[in-house]
Structure 1
Amino acid sequence: LLIKKEKGQSMVEFALVIPVLLLIVIGIIEFGFMFSSYLTLTNASREAARYISLGGDDVGAILRANNVAVNTDPNRMTIKIAPTSSSRSRGDSVTVEITYAHDFLTPFMDALLGSNFNLKVKATMRVE
């Protein structure tokens, strides 16, 4: 007799649980894309710093970073190199810092965290 009264219970439970489950799944997917961008930018900053440490110029290092950073929009990337090429000498450390405005894929995450989430990476190497 009690079973007949609980006929729609599973539907109500499903309706209560599915939004939370979808939020978790979407969050995992977004975090995966953001982590992939972070790793790509880390590699790009390392490659640019290595390029400069071997005697390359700043413009070449920026081009190198943009070429290595696949799957990212170069217009959303800011690359800072310190010290500038005119004040660098052998044995000095050079730092390449990349800031990237990561854009979320789902509008749901935009509402929670804002439209842009800045990723910032640095690489420092000694000029040879």
Structure 2
Amino acid sequence: MRYGKLPREEKGQALAEVALVLPVLILLLFAIIEFGRVFSAQLTVVAASREGARYGVVGATDAQIVEHVKESAAALDTSLLEVSIDPPAPRLAGDTLKVEVEYPVSLVLPLPDVLLPNPVWVHGETAMQVE
């Protein structure tokens, strides 16, 4: 059997196979990229909640904690960050401070809401004892 050129009918078959498989591969590639964006936002939100809790347990006000969380999450659109702090200031030594941060990640890939809601909300929560 000779290698190299395909018979005429096999060329058409290969083109049809590529036409069927290529959209699926492109969709898979974009899905991997979207997963990376959501995962990166998740890591950023968790780190920002941790930084806010660390900052809050040493006596910062709620407004200072929110500002510190937004500075820590500078890679994201900070106007979309939702920060909640429990309990509100003033806090006593020994209290447990909980900082929750939520962020909506808008998907670029147009998927039905049945597969993945748009936007995807990522959540980070950290609890620490007030010093």
Give, in whole Å, the separation in 2 of the partners of 1:110 and 1:5. Answer: 38
Amino acid at match of 2:19: A
1:109–1:72 CA distance, 2 compared to 1 (3 A): farther
Q: What is the rounded CA distance, in whole Å, between the counterparts of 1:60 and 1:70 in structure 2? A: 15
Q: Which has the larger radius of gyration?
A: 2
* CA displacement at 1:114 relative to structure 2: 3.7
Q: Is the 8 A contact 2:92 2:130 kept in 1?
A: yes
Residue 96 of structure 2 contacts residue 129 of structure 2 at CA under 8 Å; is this kept in 1? yes
Q: Report the AA paired with residue 94 of structure 1.
A: L
> TM-score of the superposition, structure 1-length normalised?
0.89
The question of whether the paired residues in 2 share the 8 Å contact of 1:110 and 1:116 is answered with: no
Tell me the TM-score normalized by structure 2: 0.87
How do 1:1-128 residues align onto structure 2 when only pairs under 5 Å count?
3-86=7-90, 88-104=91-107, 106-109=108-111, 113-128=116-131
**What's the secondary structure of 1:80's corresponding residue?**
strand
In the alignment of these two chains, the number of paired residues is 125
Q: Closer, same or farther in 2 for the Cα pair 1:110/1:43, shift >3 Å?
A: farther
Structure 2 CA distance, aligned partners of 1:93 and 1:4? 74
Percent identical = 37
Deviation (angstroms), 1:30: 0.7
Superposed structure 1 runs of 4+ greater than 6 Å apart: none
- Aligned-residue RMSD, C-alpha: 1.7
**More helix, by proportion:** 1
Mind listing any 5+ residue stretches in structure 2 that lack a counterpart?
A: 1-5
Structure 1 residues 13-55: Cα deviation after superposition (integer angstroms, max 9, x where no partner): 1011111111111011111111111111111100100011111
5+ residue gaps, structure 1: none
Rounded Cα–Cα distance in structure 1 between residues aligned with 2:112 and 2:79: 20
